[in-house]
Structure 1
């Protein structure tokens, strides 16, 4: 379900005004959950062109932009180079296909990524392994929306269901809330977005 092929094709036209606005809302929501992050490492998981991570660069000591699409990663590399950013790095990798045991971070955030992942439990488990002790996984995604019918993405998530899956894996201190409702923001449908914070 990763939809990498699709993202490879749209990488150079991805940064629309709508996506930039959603990224700003998402990064502001994430920032509310950060504590003493200035000396912490972060991973923007499924980063796309880095719209969210770029907004949060100054909040962390270092950030890794990770995506399965090489073209998306190339877009980030260009942004990092043009702005001469010193605390960021990139990695093209598919965590759905294999785990990455040598990678570790204090914070991982994923914005509108989980809906593209078929094996949600597996990815959440692999991200759990990457987190440092007491590290945080922050998920921003769509609330479940019965109007969305698709064979390439999930139609959003029930926050309590997702929290249940995560607590079985070992995540604790899970809290979530809906923070934004927008017109036609999810496959042409009105939709609500939630943020979920969890800790290892």
Structure 2
């Protein structure tokens, strides 16, 4: 999927409602705070973060899609927000010389081929006692992305595999919970899928 091409039409009713549920789950799972800095990796149009911006001192939104970031910037301007900033950047290829108390990601990690390298960057970008929070697809048979030409990411994740990657890269206190079940129309059929939330600490 070319996210630049779909950025302007991304915010449909289903994604908006799902983002509210995800944002609420994040803020009830991790310790938020107005003294904390946060970063969202793979922010898209910012649907999750615009439900969280009052929970943190500031949030940095990062995405590789220039058009997604343009949509976010338009929202920031329209809402006159001062505690959200953005970067159009690929963290797998280029390091961002900032540190955060919280890093979270929603439905973005499965698009990344080199999960090990990205988790290493996450660890390096967290402050001591910081928390990583990942929301993504449970492992499936590939049906979720079967019609997306050029998709070369992951067909969701198993708890065991992702936990092992996080542990290798230094994370501790790893928790995992499936919390959401949804449906997606594919070839006139309804595909059921589920999302997990996983947290890990840098101690």
Fold shared, TM-score > 0.5 on shorter chain: yes
Q: Which moved more, 1:148-157 or 1:129-138?
A: 148-157
1:89-130 Cα shifts (integer Å, max 9, x gaps) = 111111121222x11110010000111000011111111111
Counterparts in 2 of 1:8-23, with a 5 A limit? 8-23=4-19
2:191 aligns with 189
> Do residues 123 (structure 1) and 118 (structure 2) align?
yes
Query: How many Å separate the matches in 1 of 2:173 and 2:85?
Result: 29
SS at match of 1:61: strand
TM-score, with length taken from structure 2: 0.91
TM-score, with length taken from structure 1: 0.92
Aligned with residue 68 of structure 1, among 46, 56, 64? 64
Query: How many Å separate the matches in 2 of 1:29 and 1:108?
Result: 15
2:84 aligns with 88
2:45 aligns with 49
Kindly indicate whether the alpha-carbon contact (under 8 Å) linking 1:47 and 1:110 is maintained by their aligned counterparts in 2.
yes
Deviation, 1:16, is 0.7
Kindly indicate whether the alpha-carbon contact (under 8 Å) linking 1:106 and 1:135 is maintained by their aligned counterparts in 2.
yes
1:138 aligns with 133
Query: How many Å separate the matches in 2 of 1:98 and 1:64?
Result: 16
Deviation, 1:153, is 3.0
* Gapped regions of structure 2 (runs ≥ 5): none
Aligned residues: 195
1:46-90 Cα shifts (integer Å, max 9, x gaps) = 100000010000110001111111111111111111110011111
1:112 aligns with 107
Kindly indicate whether the alpha-carbon contact (under 8 Å) linking 1:117 and 1:153 is maintained by their aligned counterparts in 2.
yes
Distance 1:185 1:41, change over 3 A: farther
Query: How many Å separate the matches in 2 of 1:105 and 1:185?
Result: 37
Kindly indicate whether the alpha-carbon contact (under 8 Å) linking 1:185 and 1:191 is maintained by their aligned counterparts in 2.
no
Query: How many Å separate the matches in 1 of 2:84 and 2:95?
Result: 22
Deviation, 1:152, is 2.8
Query: How many Å separate the matches in 1 of 2:99 and 2:116?
Result: 19
Q: Which moved more, 1:170-179 or 1:140-149?
A: 140-149
2:200 aligns with 198
| RMSD (Å) for aligned C-alpha atoms | 1.7
